[in-house]
């Protein structure tokens, strides 16, 4: 089995997935030519020299050893994946909406195989005639995330809201709905790590204070800046009691997934890729109420050749009811034992073995 890798190695979500795969391939002592997408940035990770030496060796191999006759495993956006170093490219990507465009369909059909971490995405593309599809669930990153036995806020229950600030993730609706019920209540706190590096800091502050908070003051909500180190992000996940995963469309939901996997309680929208790992045993589920257009004129623009369609919406009262159920779970036990099972069910070893199995076919 000979194949190469073409993927981003950096601190954003795509890069985090790449890094987890690479660390497992390193442990297997694999020799695989690697072509990075963009600049290599390992600053978010804590790494040892043996791994970085292995990585550099395999990066150096690509130009001298890669053949277009060999398969290549590419981890990237659909936009940018018609381009290929191989006649047999296996694309691993993430799709969140429900209306693939002609351009997206053409890109999918021109790859040898396309893998999604969401069965919802697979079913969406199947409806439009695509058959070269496969499913690959993501994994718990044991190298960067673990449960910390620390008592952060003993006098209050802390909710965590995570992910980059945008309409798709329903941040505005979640915050405003939560504040209507819990705002200025000392028993609860909402911690928002929703910094979006693709929005200017000044614009982001204006969006939060003017549009989301509507220039009102609440003492029990905080907004955190960008967190560059995974170790610090792990500390953040551990500091919360309940994670809110109410995004209208996701390819997996890594921050919420890792929170539940380290034993945090959660309120999760029962839709799209969340359904791959969240169920009644490990989460308080909220069924979607409808679908709405995804367009926000920032990241999703109507009429473009990529990212068209709808996201799931939710009922505010049902969301609050779910929050109240999660609060009772925390009062009963801060540890979500069923959540911990995700670490084994979606282990990094299984993730790497699944990639190797797909590439061997």
CATH of the domain at 294: 3.40.50.2000
Q: Is residue 268 part of a domain?
A: yes
Distances (CA, A) of 199 to 23, 196, 216, 330, 357: 31, 6, 22, 35, 39
> How confident is the model over 184-204, as a mean pLDDT?
95
| 83 and 198 housed in the same domain | no
pLDDT at 319: 98
Domain that holds residue 166: 157-345
| 32 and 129 housed in the same domain | yes
Strands 34-36 and 3-7: parallel
Q: Binning pLDDT at 50, 70 and 90, where does residue 1 land?
A: low
Which 8-state DSSP code applies to residue 272?
G
Q: Binning pLDDT at 50, 70 and 90, where does residue 8 land?
A: very high
| 341 and 351 housed in the same domain | no
* H or E stretch covering 269: strand 265-269
Quick count: other Cβ atoms within 10 Å of Cβ 57? 11
Give yes or no for residue 225 having a pLDDT over 60. yes
> How confident is the model over 173-186, as a mean pLDDT?
98
Q: Is residue 144 part of a domain?
A: no
Query: How many structural domains are present in the chain?
Result: 2
| 329 and 352 housed in the same domain | no
Q: Is residue 145 part of a domain?
A: no
pLDDT at 287: 98
How far, in Å, CA of 201 to CA of 208, rounded?
11
> How confident is the model over 149-176, as a mean pLDDT?
96
| 90 and 162 housed in the same domain | no
- Residue reference for tokens 């560059």: 228
Spatial CA neighbour of 97 closest among 133, 75, 127: 127
Quick count: other Cβ atoms within 10 Å of Cβ 201? 12
> How confident is the model over 227-235, as a mean pLDDT?
97
> How confident is the model over 274-301, as a mean pLDDT?
97
> How confident is the model over 89-108, as a mean pLDDT?
98
Average model confidence (pLDDT) for the chain?
97
């Amino acid at each position: 089995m000979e194949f190469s890798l073409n993927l981003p190695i950096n601190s954003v979500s795509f890069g985090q997935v790449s890094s987890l795969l690479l660390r497992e391939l390193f442990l297997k002592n694999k020799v695989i030519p690697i072509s990075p997408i963009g600049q290599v940035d390992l600053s978010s990770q804590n790494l040892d020299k043996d791994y970085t030496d292995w990585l550099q060796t395999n990066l150096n191999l690509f130009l001298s050893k890669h053949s277009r006759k060999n398969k290549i495993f590419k981890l990237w956006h659909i936009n940018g994946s018609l381009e290929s170093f191989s006649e047999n490219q296996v694309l691993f990507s993430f799709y969140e909406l429900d209306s693939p465009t002609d351009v997206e369909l053409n890109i999918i059909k021109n790859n040898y195989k396309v893998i999604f971490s969401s069965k919802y995405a697979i079913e969406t593309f199947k409806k439009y005639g695509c058959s070269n599809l496969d499913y690959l669930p993501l994994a718990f990153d044991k190298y960067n995330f673990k449960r910390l036995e620390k008592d952060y806020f003993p006098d209050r229950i802390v909710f965590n809201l995570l992910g980059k600030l945008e309409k798709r993730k329903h941040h505005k609706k979640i915050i405003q709905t939560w504040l209507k019920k819990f705002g200025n209540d000392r028993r609860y706190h909402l911690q928002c790590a929703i910094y979006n590096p693709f929005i200017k800091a000044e614009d982001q502050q204006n969006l939060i204070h003017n549009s989301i908070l509507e220039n009102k003051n609440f003492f029990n909500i905080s907004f955190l800046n960008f967190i560059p180190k995974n170790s610090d992000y792990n500390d953040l996940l551990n500091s919360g009691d309940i994670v809110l995963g109410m995004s209208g469309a996701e390819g997996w939901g890594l921050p919420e997934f890792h929170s539940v996997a380290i034993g945090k309680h959660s309120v999760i929208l029962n839709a799209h890729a969340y359904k791959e790992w969240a169920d009644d045993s490990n989460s308080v589920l909220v069924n979607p109420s409808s679908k709405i257009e995804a367009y926000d004129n920032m990241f999703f623009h109507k009429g473009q050749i990529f990212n068209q369609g709808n996201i799931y919406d939710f009922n505010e009262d049902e969301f609050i009811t779910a929050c109240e159920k999660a609060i009772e779970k925390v009062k009963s036990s801060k540890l979500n034992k069923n959540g911990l099972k995700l670490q084994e069910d979606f282990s990094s070893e299984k993730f790497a073995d699944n990639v190797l199995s797909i590439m061997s076919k």
